[in-house]
């Protein structure tokens, strides 16, 4: 088992973005990216091997 950092990013209809590292999940393989469309935003769950990769993704999402 390996640990993967889970990042949740929310892209709102008004153009705002919220992205955070949610924690770690243990898995034999890297989890598949998940997406959901809600009434006011789209939500994505992405997974990264290192905290640095996860933080870079969060920073890019917030300032894109």
pLDDT in tens, the chain (64 residues): 999 999 999 999 999 999 999 999 999 999 999 999 999 999 999 999 999 999 999 999 988 7
Domain ranges of the chain: 2-62
Q: What pLDDT was estimated at residue 62?
A: 82
Full-model pTM: 0.91
Spell out the long-range contacts of 21-28 with Cβ–Cβ below 8 A and sequence spacing 24 or more.
Answer: 21/51, 21/54, 21/55, 21/58, 26/1, 26/2, 27/1, 27/2, 28/1, 28/2
Q: What pLDDT was estimated at residue 4?
A: 98
Q: What pLDDT was estimated at residue 28?
A: 95
Q: What pLDDT was estimated at residue 63?
A: 82
Q: What pLDDT was estimated at residue 33?
A: 96
């Amino acid at each position: 088992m390996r640990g993967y950092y889970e990042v949740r990013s929310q892209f709102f209809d008004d153009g705002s973005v919220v992205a955070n590292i949610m924690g770690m999940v243990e898995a034999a393989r890297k989890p598949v990216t998940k997406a959901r469309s809600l009434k006011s935003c789209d939500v994505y769950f992405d997974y990264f091997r290192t905290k640095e990769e996860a933080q870079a993704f969060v920073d890019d999402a917030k300032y894109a």
